[in-house]
A and B are shown apart, each in its own frame.
Chain A
Amino acid sequence: MSFFTADNLAIHFGGIKAVDGVSFEVNKGEVFTIIGPNGAGKTTIFNLVSRIYEPTAGRLTFDGMDITNVAPHRIAALGIARTFQNIELFEHATLLQNLLLARHAHKKSGFFAELLFLPSVQRMELEHREAVEKAIDFLDLQQYRDSFIVNLPYGVRKVTELARALCTDPRLLLLDEPSSGLNVEETEDMAFWIQDIRDLLGITVLMVEHDMSLVSAVSDRVLALNYGRPIALGTPGEVQAHPEVIRAYLGG
């Protein structure tokens, strides 16, 4: 039984088959990357996994549990966290507040306890803070802790989103184009972090990425999509050499 399975996953928007019968399995502790030309349905798969979209057909299984019909806000508590292609941070809050919000799935306090800010709530807050500080240390965000997101540069926001996803204590991390908009140096940092997330934190990573140097640097396996259908699956080298993939990218 693999860690995460998408079985014959499909979603149709009207007549458009954005994702059309995609099946794949992600093993525990690997970095699994989905590549494909624009509009291939990569991000749509992410939105299906994080339950923002309702699949037309197919099944999603995570750690032996069917998550096809789980409510979107329950996904985080199950241990699946994600980042967004067009950064979705809470812009008018500080970086610290952003990361603390990611601890929401682990919240245990009730409304009235919070209303009075009882000692139990304070203890929980300190626990959350310690978890958040670990992510801040891991990704070197110390100096931005109290900055508002609107005032942060793009690269830092991108890392903040990664940090926020890590703060939910995920077992499966969905990264939607982690290197988009980053310069070469920042992309290299990102590659190291993704490897560290897999090797040191033991988190399985499912990634959508365009930057082939990043893909080949960190991926264990790669799935190539085109027009919502899988065209190749294998190691980064195998997939890049696959004639179908070359045709999808270069035409012909």
Chain B
Amino acid sequence: MRFIFKTSYVQDIRLFRDQVDASWYGLLAVAVLALPFVMSEYYIGESTWVFIYGICGVSLMVLVGYTGLVSLGHAAFLGIGAYAHAFFLKHGMPWIPSVVLAVMITTASGIVVGLPALRMTGIYLAIATLAFSVIIQEVFSRWESVTHGFAGMPVEKPTILGVAFDDERSFYYLCLFFLALTLWLTRNLLRAPTGRAWIAIRDSEIAAQSMGVNLAIYKSMAFAYSAALMGLAGALFAHKIAYLAPDIFTILLSIQFLLLVIVGGLGSLHGAIFGAIFVALLPPAIAILRDSIPASMADAAQATGVGAFGVLGEAIGNFLKKPGVEAGIFGLILVLVILLEPLGMYGRWLKIKLFFSTFPMYKASTFKRQKTYMRSERLR
């Protein structure tokens, strides 16, 4: 077990805890930068999805995980960012101003949606954001002069300052850059007074207010910042998907984002990334299993001479081919995570880390919460 000896307050506000931590992240950075040289085109493309979902995850993590406000309308912000960016590009605007404008427009819409959040909490806020999402989706399909409705809107590969990001590998680096930027900016906010104010609002609004936090301003700020990140993700999303249609930005996508932060682990930036890896890579993983399970089971049946293996493999393959199985698996995992690991993948990660750092002294009960007293009353 490593003990960090603290000699200065500066150590507590650093980006990384210590040299050892920093070098691990350095190693991770090198690995992520080197990956495109060892992966096939297909996997580079799938990894790019991880980065885009990662930005979405950080966005929703700020709102749900840190400020404690639920949103079922984040797909709408993504759509606004994507359509705005595509629209500006189509009208000949250079890439950087186009993204900046798209982010500004999403931020503004975030503030507008955030206004009811000042009065609503929990399920009511979820319904309000859901309504917003439905309205925006309708706008996408009806406002044909801008969005081309259901005819769809093609988006070209990005060209930034004359540099074309037209293959999978260069686009991978572009998305990676924006994810790293997002993480850095968000981490900065979270170790500054703004982040603490968000956490305070999440845990006790009344105490936050008594300590001088202006609830209205900080809640709107959380909504605006979250929407801004979603706008950025939307711009990248537009390039990645190459063809925008209104039925992409549905409530299902919003739920997928919510699933991302819950499975990843609420209240941690790591969780947003773990969740993004999970949500982005589960569909391709299912697709691979769909083909490989029947094949390998058939092999096993031939090798052992037990025909039941082949039949079973065939059945699993057919089951995975059924429509809606993917959503079902997502839902099942969500239920299991909430039941078994409320802190999500990040919670599991902490346990694994502790296991190795305290080996062989690890106790499973380290993370057991003691039941503490109940609140008898709570001010609203």
Interface residues of A (CB under 8 A from B): 47, 50, 52, 71-77, 81-82, 84, 86, 88-93, 96-97, 100-105, 107, 109, 111, 114-117, 121-122, 124-126, 129-130, 133, 150-151, 154, 164, 168, 181
Say yes or no: B267 contacts A89, CB within 8 Å.
Answer: no
Query: Smallest CB-CB separation from B204: which chain A residue?
Result: A88
- In the complex with contacts A82-B210, A126-B9, A154-B193 CB distance below 8 A: no
Collect the chain A residues with CB atoms within 8 Å of residue B221's CB.
111
Query: Smallest CB-CB separation from A74: which chain B residue?
Result: B212
Say yes or no: A117 contacts B211, CB within 8 Å.
Answer: no
Say yes or no: B209 contacts A91, CB within 8 Å.
Answer: no
A246 to B204, CA, bound (A): 37
Is B10 engaged at the interface, CB distance under 8 Å to the other chain?
yes
Say yes or no: A77 contacts B212, CB within 8 Å.
Answer: yes
- 16 residue pairs from A and B, CB less than 8 Å apart: A47-B379, A50-B210, A52-B379, A75-B210, A76-B212, A90-B203, A90-B208, A93-B196, A96-B12, A101-B211, A109-B192, A109-B193, A115-B189, A121-B192, A125-B13, A126-B13
A243 to B268, CA, bound (A): 58
A77 to B377, CA, bound (A): 27
A102 to B375, CA, bound (A): 22
Min Cβ gap A207→B in Å is 16
Given contacts A86-B376, A168-B212, 14 further A-B contacts (CB under 8 A): A52-B206, A73-B209, A81-B211, A89-B204, A90-B199, A90-B207, A101-B199, A102-B211, A103-B193, A115-B189, A126-B10, A129-B9, A130-B9, A154-B372
Collect the chain B residues with CB atoms within 8 Å of residue A126's CB.
9-10, 13
Say yes or no: B192 contacts A114, CB within 8 Å.
Answer: yes
Is B340 engaged at the interface, CB distance under 8 Å to the other chain?
no
Number of interface residues of B (CB under 8 A): 39
Query: Smallest CB-CB separation from A117: which chain B residue?
Result: B188
- In the complex with contacts A109-B192, A150-B372, A72-B210 CB distance below 8 A: yes
Min Cβ gap B8→A in Å is 9
- In the complex with contacts A92-B202, A115-B188, A121-B192, A104-B212 CB distance below 8 A: yes
A92 to B12, CA, bound (A): 18
A76 to B379, CA, bound (A): 18
Collect the chain B residues with CB atoms within 8 Å of residue A97's CB.
196, 199
Collect the chain A residues with CB atoms within 8 Å of residue B12's CB.
96, 129
Say yes or no: A76 contacts B210, CB within 8 Å.
Answer: yes
Partner of B199, one of A77, A93, A102: A93
Is B91 engaged at the interface, CB distance under 8 Å to the other chain?
no
Partner of A168, one of B203, B211, B267, B369: B211
Is B215 engaged at the interface, CB distance under 8 Å to the other chain?
yes
Min Cβ gap A90→B in Å is 4
- In the complex with contacts A75-B210, A101-B200, A125-B378 CB distance below 8 A: no
A133 to B200, CA, bound (A): 20
Collect the chain B residues with CB atoms within 8 Å of residue A100's CB.
193, 196
Say yes or no: A122 contacts B13, CB within 8 Å.
Answer: yes
Collect the chain A residues with CB atoms within 8 Å of residue B185's CB.
115-116
Collect the chain A residues with CB atoms within 8 Å of residue B345's CB.
none
- In the complex with contacts A114-B189, A125-B13, A86-B375 CB distance below 8 A: yes
Give the contacts of B176-193 with A (CB-CB under 8 A). Answer: 185, 188-189, 191-193
Min Cβ gap B335→A in Å is 23
Collect the chain A residues with CB atoms within 8 Å of residue B377's CB.
86
Contact with A along B297-338 (1 / 0, CB 8 A): 000000000000000000000000000000000000000000
Query: Smallest CB-CB separation from A100: which chain B residue?
Result: B196
Collect the chain A residues with CB atoms within 8 Å of residue B194's CB.
111, 114
Partner of B200, one of A90, A111, A121, A150: A90
Say yes or no: B208 contacts A114, CB within 8 Å.
Answer: no
Say yes or no: B196 contacts A104, CB within 8 Å.
Answer: yes
Of the listed residues A82, A88, A124, the one surrounded by the most CB atoms of chain B closer than 10 A to its CB is A88
Give the contacts of B9-67 with A (CB-CB under 8 A). Answer: 9-10, 12-13
Min Cβ gap B318→A in Å is 45
Of the listed residues B203, B208, B212, the one surrounded by the most CB atoms of chain A closer than 10 A to its CB is B212
Say yes or no: B373 contacts A154, CB within 8 Å.
Answer: yes
Min Cβ gap B370→A in Å is 8
Collect the chain A residues with CB atoms within 8 Å of residue B369's CB.
150-151
Is B214 engaged at the interface, CB distance under 8 Å to the other chain?
yes
Min Cβ gap B374→A in Å is 9
Query: Smallest CB-CB separation from B215: which chain A residue?
Result: A73
Collect the chain B residues with CB atoms within 8 Å of residue A150's CB.
369, 372
A102 to B210, CA, bound (A): 9
Min Cβ gap B15→A in Å is 8
Collect the chain A residues with CB atoms within 8 Å of residue B13's CB.
122, 125-126, 129
A130 to B370, CA, bound (A): 32
Min Cβ gap B1→A in Å is 15
Min Cβ gap B307→A in Å is 54
Query: What 3 A-B pairs come out closest when comparing CB atoms?
Result: A105-B212, A76-B212, A114-B192
Collect the chain A residues with CB atoms within 8 Å of residue B378's CB.
86
Min Cβ gap B189→A in Å is 6
Is B72 engaged at the interface, CB distance under 8 Å to the other chain?
no
Min Cβ gap B332→A in Å is 27
Collect the chain B residues with CB atoms within 8 Å of residue A74's CB.
212
Partner of B207, one of A88, A96, A129: A88
Is B235 engaged at the interface, CB distance under 8 Å to the other chain?
no
Is B197 engaged at the interface, CB distance under 8 Å to the other chain?
yes
A112 to B213, CA, bound (A): 18
Collect the chain A residues with CB atoms within 8 Å of residue B210's CB.
50, 52, 72, 75-76, 81-82
Collect the chain A residues with CB atoms within 8 Å of residue B373's CB.
154, 181
Say yes or no: A125 contacts B199, CB within 8 Å.
Answer: no
A100 to B353, CA, bound (A): 28
Min Cβ gap B226→A in Å is 14
